[in-house]
Chain A
Amino acid sequence: QKEVEQNSGPLSVPEGAIASLNCTYSDRGSQSFFWYRQYSGKSPELIMFIYSNGDKEDGRFTAQLNKASQYVSLLIRDSQPSDSATYLCAVDTGRRALTFGSGTRLQVQP
Chain B
Amino acid sequence: DAMVIQNPRYQVTQFGKPVTLSCSQTLNHNVMYWYQQKSSQAPKLLFHYYDKDFNNEADTPDNFQSRRPNTSFCFLDIRSPGLGDAAMYLCATSSLAGGGEQYFGPGTRLTVT
Q: Counting CB contacts under 8 A, is A46 at the interface?
A: yes
A65–B33 Cα distance when bound, in Å, is: 26
Partner of B94, one of A8, A41, A96: A96
Q: A14-22, A71-79, A98-106: which one contacts chain B?
A: A98-106
A46–B43 Cα distance when bound, in Å, is: 14
Q: Would you call A92 and B43 a contact (CB within 8 A)?
A: no
A83–B55 Cα distance when bound, in Å, is: 35
Closest to A100 in B: B42
Q: Counting CB contacts under 8 A, is A25 at the interface?
A: no
Interface size on A, residues (CB 8 A): 25
Partner of B43, one of A31, A32, A41, A100: A100
Residues of B participating in the A interface, judged by any CB pair closer than 8 Å: 31, 33, 40-45, 48, 50, 55, 88, 90, 94, 96, 99-107, 109
A-B complex: 7 closest residue pairs judged by Cβ atoms: A100-B42, A43-B104, A92-B100, A32-B100, A43-B107, A102-B42, A100-B43
